[in-house]
């Protein structure tokens, strides 16, 4: 089998996701010997404009330029992969969807504002093109990136880790932050991150997106019992996967909360 032609690209993001690919330092050479990397600006100068078997896209679409770049990548690629929370759920850049526009007035005095103005609603890439696979997370888990590449090489269909963060959190025998009165999104959020935040005492912000089976009602009830207000919970949830959560909760009071 010829090596698959693979490209790594970024839209608006911090490039942490691309670093997560490289941070597989122990296996990076083995990995690169199995795939034919055509473009990856962190490790090579070459530009490439031909067809790709697998195209990884990092970042959020925040302006028309991003949208155009993404459209072209889609046309050239057999398999398009959303890499990281920005590409998968809009992440921090998409917070603008929930911001009070008046509070952003000050940006008018910044040069950047003109660029941003042509798209008021930064969105995950699946809003613009068909996405074949997602590898969520901020940053994505390097083991999951490796697993994805191996499964593609084997011709298998990649399946994301679908259990909640709580699974790994409990197996590592952590204390539970919800019990300690914090807003932890663990029960609603897809794990596979080795519960890296909660294990280090940080509450989960939901960067890997919502599980198929999240019980929002039960969750709100639980946190309200712990004295959290809807608005506090909403603000917390909007941080990483706000767009996705917003869609799952459309037609509920959630939309009206400020």
Partner 1 sequence: MFVRCLYSTEQTKTKCLKINAVQQKLMQQFLLKKGDFSKFVNTAIKDSDFVAPVEGSREKQNTRPFFREISSADEIYLGRKSYYTVKGFFFRENEKIFGFNGNKIINPESELKDTIYFGLRRCDLNGIYHQDIVFLDENEDPFYKARRDASLLIGYHCREGDDYCFCNSMELVDFFDLMFYDKGENYAVETGSEKGNSFVKKYSKFFTKADNAVSDEDRKTVNRKKLNTADIKDDYDNDDWKKGSDICVSCGACNFLCMNCHCFDFEDDVEFDLKAGSRIRKPASCQLRSFTRVAGNHVFRNERNARFKHRIYHQLQYFRERHNVQFCTGCGRCIEGCPVRIDWVEIINEMKK
Among 125, 131, 166, 243, binds ligand SF4 (CB under 6 A): 166
The CB-side HSE value for 255 (13 A sphere, CA atoms) comes to 8
Stretch that binds partner 1, among 55-63, 71-79, 171-179, 233-241 (CB under 8 A): 171-179
CA-based Rg of the chain, rounded to a whole angstrom?
Answer: 19
Q: Nearest-CA neighbor of 63 among 109, 123, 131, 130?
A: 123
**Any contact of residue 178 with ligand SF4 (CB under 6 A)?**
yes
**Any contact of residue 183 with ligand SF4 (CB under 6 A)?**
no
Cis peptide upstream of residue 139 (ω within 30 degrees of 0) = yes
Among 116, 176, 230, 235, binds ligand SF4 (CB under 6 A): 176
Site for ligand SF4 in 190-209 (CB under 6 A): 198, 204
3-state DSSP call for residue 195? coil
In 10 A of CB 232, how many CB atoms? 13
Stretch that binds partner 1, among 23-31, 47-55, 63-71, 109-117 (CB under 8 A): 23-31
DSSP count for the chain of H helices, then E strands: 10, 5
- The distance of closest approach from Cβ of residue 83 to partner 1 in the complex, given in angstroms and rounded to an integer, is 19
Among 108, 200, 250, 258, binds partner 1 (CB under 8 A): 200
**Any contact of residue 169 with ligand SF4 (CB under 6 A)?**
yes
In 10 A of CB 131, how many CB atoms? 18
Q: How far apart are CA 151 and CA 106, in angstroms?
A: 47
Among 147, 150, 170, 228, binds ligand SF4 (CB under 6 A): 170
Strands 133-135 and 5-10: unpaired
Q: How far apart are CA 136 and CA 209, in angstroms?
A: 7
Contacts to partner 1 by CB under 8 A = 27, 30-31, 33-34, 146-147, 150, 153-154, 162-164, 166-168, 170-176, 178-179, 186-188, 198-201, 211-215, 217-219, 221-222
Using CB under 6 A as the criterion, which residues of the chain lie in contact with ligand SF4 when the complex forms?
Answer: 165-166, 169-170, 174, 176-178, 184, 186-187, 198, 204
């Amino acid at each position: 089998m010829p090596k698959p032609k693979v490209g790594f690209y970024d839209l608006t993001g911090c490039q942490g996701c691309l670093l997560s690919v490289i941070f597989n330092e122990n296996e990076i050479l083995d990995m690169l010997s199995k795939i034919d990397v055509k473009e990856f600006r962190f490790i090579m100068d070459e530009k490439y404009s031909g067809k790709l078997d697998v195209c990884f896209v990092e970042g959020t679409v925040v302006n028309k330029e991003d949208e155009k770049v993404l459209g072209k990548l889609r046309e050239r690629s057999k398999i398009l992969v959303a890499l990281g929370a920005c590409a998968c759920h809009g992440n921090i850049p998409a917070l603008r969807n929930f911001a009070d526009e008046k509070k952003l007035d000050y940006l008018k005095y910044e040069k950047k504002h003109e660029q941003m103005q042509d798209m008021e609603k930064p969105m995950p890439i699946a809003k613009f093109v068909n996405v074949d696979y997602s590898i969520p997370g901020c940053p994505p888990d390097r083991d999951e990136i490796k697993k994805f590449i191996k499964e593609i090489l084997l011709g298998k269909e990649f399946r994301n880790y679908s259990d909640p963060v709580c699974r790994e959190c409990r197996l590592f025998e952590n204390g539970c932050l919800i019990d300690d009165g914090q807003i932890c999104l663990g029960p609603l959020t897809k794990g596979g991150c080795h519960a890296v935040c909660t294990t280090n005492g940080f509450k989960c912000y939901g960067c890997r997106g919502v599980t198929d089976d999240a019980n929002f009602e039960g969750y709100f009830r639980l946190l309200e019992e712990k004295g959290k207000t809807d608005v506090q919970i909403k603000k917390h949830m909007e941080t990483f996967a706000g767009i996705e959560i917003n869609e799952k909760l459309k037609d509920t009071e959630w939309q009206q909360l400020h």
